[in-house]
Amino acid sequence: MSRRRRVEDLVEEYLERIRPADPAAMRAAEERQAALTKPAGSLGVLEELSVRVAGMTGTCPPAVPAPAVVTVFAADHGVHAQNVSPWPQEVTAAMLANFAAGGAAVNAFAKNNGVDVRVVDVGVATPVDQLDIVHANVRPGTRDLSQTEALTEDEVRAAVAVGFELAESLVRDGYRCLLTGDMGIANTTASAALIATFTGATAAVVTGRGTGIDDATLAHKTAIVEAALVRHAVPPTEPLKALQAYGGLEHAALAGYILGAAANQVPVILDGVIAGAAALVAQALHPAAVDYCVAGHRSAEPGHAVALKTLGLQPLVDLDLRLGEGTGAVLAYPILSCAVRALAEMATFEDAGISS
Ligand SMILES: Cc1cc2ncn([C@H]3O[C@H](COP(=O)(O)O)[C@@H](O)[C@H]3O)c2cc1C
Ligand SMILES: O=C(O)c1cccnc1
């Protein structure tokens, strides 16, 4: 069997393993929530969240989703050549060294919240061979989406496989909550194109300032996204083709990682706009993948709110973050674990001898 055939089969195999959240476990969790020692509904969104986790894991009450790990998928983007980001491409590799040394914002948040950090090179343009990270480089950055297709079909499928297989191995290692992270200079441009594809929103609505660009650069970046949408014209029913057209390798790996969490019935906390774009790809591949997604936060990048609406997810935190790396997901993790711990460990009125 050719390698190409094998990679094609893999994505189909992944999708076959995904089941919608378990309705019986969700009903049991709703009933248990109603019996706990608090006024009904008083834990607000946390109650719904705990019910969703019961549905994901198929158990009531579910175990607290721990330990947790944030995986930072890193890759570069050919569209960087169009001056859509103020930062040099080499910053992607430099930040990988920073993650490996524990010096980035995501490392600080992760240390605070008891979350482990994994870093994966799925397509960084600058060599990072010497770093103590997962080396799974599919190609050294995408091609320029404004000139040609960013990736070949084989490259897309290989990157999806990196994410799926990593999620599987993390679950095998005992992790019970997977968090998304990303690093890739210019990746808010590819994110905007993906989000426009799956939501039908215009380039003007979903394109944002990324790391911080001025008005003139924003207008130029928006025009690049708009022209790319016309050039490639991928319908929302063709998620793998959308990854081929726009990239990035980290988006493809993140989509695979989300599918991997879903196939293993483990919650996945999404970070910001890059994760939102990848989750739209996962949703288009298998709608039930979203049953396993928790929106960690809402990024200040405008496309993110648009993506969350199509995903049907309510963000847990809204603090004007616009960093990526997984920071918003890590920040939200204790909220998710509190929600599940309350469902699992609170006394019922009957246990406590309180008449309700
Ligand atoms: C020092 C630094 C650290 C970062 N950590 C995450 N990003 C974030 O910014 C990039 C996307 O923004 P744009 O599309 O405007 O280039 C991504 O690498 C993302 O993870 C960073 C960016 C920089 C410069
Ligand atoms: O939403 C994000 O994750 C984000 C926003 C701006 C730049 N980098 C990442």
The complex scores an ipTM of 0.99
Same domain, 58 and 74: no
Cβ 228 vs Cβ 190: under 8 Å? no
Range of the domain at 9: 3-63+341-352
Q: Which long-range contacts (CB under 8 A, 24 or more apart) does 226-231 make?
A: 226/202, 227/146, 228/145, 228/146, 228/193, 229/193, 229/196, 229/197, 229/203, 231/146
Instruction: Measure 175 CA to ligand 1 centroid, in angstroms.
Output: 27
Atom of ligand 2 nearest to the CA of 187: 8
Same domain, 198 and 165: yes
Whole-angstrom distance, CA of residue 328 vs CA of residue 270: 8
Same domain, 53 and 169: no
CA atoms within 13 A on the CB side of 138: 32
Q: What is the pLDDT of residues 273-286, one digit of tens each?
A: 999 999 999 999 99
Which ligand has the shortest distance to the CA of 250?
A: 1
> Which CATH number characterizes residue 52's domain?
1.10.1610.10
Length of the chain equals: 356
* Ligand 2 binding pocket includes 322 (Cβ within 6 Å): yes
Same domain, 100 and 201: yes
Give the confidence band of 10 by pLDDT, cuts at 50, 70, 90: confident
Q: Is the pLDDT of residue 1 over 60?
A: no
Q: How many folded domains does the chain comprise?
A: 2
Same domain, 96 and 228: yes
Q: Is the pLDDT of residue 165 over 60?
A: yes
* Ligand 1 binding pocket includes 193 (Cβ within 6 Å): no
* Ligand 1 binding pocket includes 64 (Cβ within 6 Å): no
Same domain, 43 and 185: no
Atom of ligand 2 nearest to the CA of 322: 5
Angle between helices 23-35 and 44-57 (to 10 degrees): 140
Same domain, 51 and 90: no
Pocket test for ligand 2, best of 188, 206, 318, 331 (most atoms within 8 A of CB): 188
> Which CATH number characterizes residue 280's domain?
3.40.50.10210
* Ligand 2 binding pocket includes 271 (Cβ within 6 Å): yes
Same domain, 24 and 111: no
Which runs of E-coded beta strand occur in 65-123?
68-75, 115-123
Cβ 229 vs Cβ 196: under 8 Å? yes
As a whole number, mean pLDDT of residues 290-314 equals 98
Q: What is the pLDDT of residues 224-251, one digit of tens each?
A: 999 999 999 999 999 999 999 999 999 9
Cα separations in angstroms, 181 against 19, 32, 106, 184, 241: 24, 33, 9, 10, 23
Strand-strand pairing, 268-270 and 68-75: unpaired
Q: Which of 246, 278, 237 is nearest to 261 (CA)?
A: 278
Q: Please, which residues bridge with residue 135 across strands?
A: 121
**Phi, psi (deg, nearest 5) at residue 29:** -70, -40
Average pLDDT, the chain: 97
Which tokens is 162 given?
């990196």
Same domain, 107 and 58: no
As a whole number, mean pLDDT of residues 139-151 equals 98
Same domain, 44 and 88: no
Q: Is the pLDDT of residue 318 over 50?
A: yes
Which ligand has the shortest distance to the CA of 212?
A: 1
CA pseudo-torsion sign 102, 105, 109, 112: positive
Q: Which of 301, 295, 352 is nearest to 195 (CA)?
A: 301
Same domain, 151 and 103: yes
Same domain, 48 and 12: yes
